[in-house]
Chains A and B, each alone.
Chain A
Amino acid sequence: MTVELRSVRRATVPRETAKGRVSLGMIALYAQVGAYVVFLAAPIVMVVLLSFTAGEFAIFPPEGLSLRWYGPALAMPGFIDSLVLSLQLAAQAATLSLLLGVSAALGLARTRFRGRQALLAGIMSPLVVPTIVSSLALLQFFVGANLREASWNLLVGHVIITLPYVVRTVLASFEVFDWSLVDTARVLGAGPVRAFWRVTLPVIRPGVLAGGIFSFLVSFDSFTISVFLVDSQSVTLPVRVFNYILTQLDPRIAALSALLIYGSIAVLVVSDRLIGTSRLRGF
């Protein structure tokens, strides 16, 4: 899935219009894809639209335009706490996943042994096992082991679900990695750590970066695993917003959701600049 768009030969849709004849099939194709794009954008655009309402209710059509709900949205109880917690958690989970994942990918890429494929499948299995199942399993495990510190439990849960992304993206970078570079560095006197920092890491950097960004995003956005591991002290942002949506109806929710959408779009743009949208296809 991580095929670079640019490397593929430029093939374009045959343009009947160039000959002055518009194909009915082409019109249908573009119309269908247009409708699909509208469908994809609809709920997101609608939330943003209603967040600007001047009225008292988040209903369509919005009554007038204003920014009056954004201030109260930020002031909702617990919002800032949850935002800080989620950002911290995402940063911690991404860091830990990178440490564990890069070392695992290095081990997998450099070592051949019996059962390597099985081990790789095992490391990837948190992606295959439905998150709801691993979340409940983890919850039962923590309760059974009497581990009740929610912030630690959340971190463990998030690392488990973000780890496969790091291993996958970093392992993909190793596939085109020329190991003789490291061997050369070693022959020329670099120690293993220095060889890793100066040779291996710069080459696999895009994979590491992509893995780190995925982990951060997946953790920040993760709802299913968090909803079972939070306690009243540590509520992550998605869980907080979920509780708001269930209990509040005013446009503050629309403004809050819109803020999250701006964040998502910013992340999408930044990751495009940083690692290329095409690489995000592996997401």
Chain B
Amino acid sequence: MARLARTKRIGPTGHGWLLLPVVLVLLAFFALPLATVVVYSVGRSTFGQVYIPDVTLHNYVLVLTSPTHLAVLTRTLKLGLIVTAVALIVGYPCAYLMARGRPWLRSALLVAVLLPLFVSVVVRAYGWEIVLGLEGPVNKLLVGLRLTDQPVKFLYSELGIVIGLVHVYSAFMVLPLSSVLQKIDPQLEDAARSLGAGPLTVFWRIILPLSVPGIAAGSMLVFTLTAAAYVTPSLLGGAGINVMTTLVVQQIKLLVDYPLGSAIAIVLVVITLLVVGAYNGFLASRAGVYRRAQP
């Protein structure tokens, strides 16, 4: 903060014009199109006419009250929570080893976690279709071990979506979490151990509470990314299982109901903004703690 004050004193201002190109580009190709979506969302449509100008909340009421649309909304939120929780549970040990392991282990885990992010979403989905398909290696193994009689239907279900999304988005849980875990002084653990605490007690009473900022950051990212995911749910979720993103596309591309599709899109944006806002509120509420944790 001291640096900011100094910059203000020394640095000449008048560099504001450098922001002009970005502002113009974003206004024209981001803000304006989004504003159009808002305008569409309060309009009407009838059969044969894509959009009739109007100011009505009818579409929003439909999204939030009609059973079919409400089910999609609930499923989106539910999947967001499940993917976040699973990413936290499977990612936490990895984040811990990334924070405390030997250097080679850290690098290896980092590459492993980043790899799915670097592989095209389309290729990832194709890979899961092979691995989890009815004739795939996982099912062959399960049947071979006589764990199931029938092959398990992993794909084209909510389970398929969860697997596909945890695979790619758990990185966004592991990375902030390991950053935070790295900042926890290992001597705290040693002290607790020498005072007689078992490993589980050390985890529950010391590591877990101190890693809450990482959990919060990771959860915010994973939840919003899951709610915004489109390709994975549409490829691994199958036809009958809509989430908000796939429903938006269905309304606009197939049913050509621009107003309703736009309203769903806006509800999705609002959900995302609420989660990000809640996270910022969380950061503000522990601003003191957070700032002290910075090196």
Residue positions of A touching B, CB distance < 8 A: 1, 3, 5, 7-8, 10-14, 23, 25, 29-30, 32-33, 36-37, 39-44, 46-47, 50, 58-61, 99-101, 103-104, 106-108, 110-113, 119, 122-123, 125-126, 128-134, 136-138, 140-141, 144, 156-157, 159-160, 163, 167, 179-180, 183, 217, 221, 223-224, 238, 241-242, 245, 253-254, 257, 260-261, 264-265, 267-268, 272, 277-278, 280-281, 283
Contacts and interface: CB of A to CB of B under 8 A. Distances in A.
B54 interface: no
B127 interface: yes
Nearest to A140: B36
B22 A100 contact: yes
B123 A241 contact: yes
Contacts of A23: 199
A260 B37 contact: no
B230 A131 contact: yes
B124 to A, nearest CB: 6
A34 B277 CA distance: 35
Nearest to A61: B137
20 contacts: A1-B176, A7-B295, A11-B100, A12-B102, A25-B199, A29-B96, A36-B93, A36-B170, A43-B167, A44-B116, A44-B119, A60-B137, A100-B22, A111-B15, A132-B228, A140-B37, A141-B36, A221-B118, A221-B121, A280-B114
Given A41-B115, A133-B265, A100 B121 contact: no
B195 to A, nearest CB: 15
A223 B186 contact: no
Given A40-B113, A60-B136, A130-B245, A33 B97 contact: yes
Interface stretch (B58-66, B144-152, B267-275, B283-291): B267-275
A141 B33 contact: yes
B101 interface: yes
Contact of B100 (A12, A36, A217, A265): A12
B120 A260 contact: yes
A13 B97 contact: yes
B248 interface: yes
Given A37-B112, A141-B33, 4 more contacts: A25-B200, A43-B128, A110-B7, A119-B19
B111 A132 contact: no
A123 B22 contact: yes
Contacts of B14: 111
A47 B123 contact: yes
B228 A131 contact: yes
Q: Is the interface of A mostly helix, strand, loop or mixed?
A: helix
Given A106-B15, A123-B22, A136-B248, A130 B228 contact: yes
User: Which of A7, A11, A99 has the largest count of B CB atoms less than 10 A from its CB?
Assistant: A11
Given A58-B130, A107-B18, A160 B30 contact: yes
B118 A265 contact: yes
Contacts, number: 274
B135 A3 contact: no
Q: Is the interface of B mostly helix, strand, loop or mixed?
A: helix
Interface string B122-143: 1111111011000111001000
B223 interface: no
Interface residues of B, number: 99
Contacts of B117: 283
B15 A141 contact: no
A10 B104 CA distance: 12
Contact of B94 (A33, A264, A277): A33
Contacts of B136: 60
Contact of A133 (B16, B22, B189, B268): B268
A37 B248 CA distance: 34
B19 A108 contact: yes
Nearest to B245: A132
B112 A179 contact: no
B292 interface: no
Contacts of B240: none
A138 B19 contact: no
B167 A39 contact: yes
B30 A281 contact: no
B110 A281 contact: yes
B252 interface: yes
Given A33-B94, A60-B135, A141-B29, A223 B34 contact: no
Contacts of B21: 99-100, 103-104
B90 interface: yes
A133 B8 CA distance: 38
A136 B261 contact: yes
B27 to A, nearest CB: 9
Interface string B235-266: 00000000001001100100000100100011
A106 B22 CA distance: 12
B30 A33 contact: no
B96 A183 contact: no
Contact of B17 (A1, A13, A59, A107): A107
B127 A281 contact: no
Contact of A277 (B15, B114, B200, B272): B114
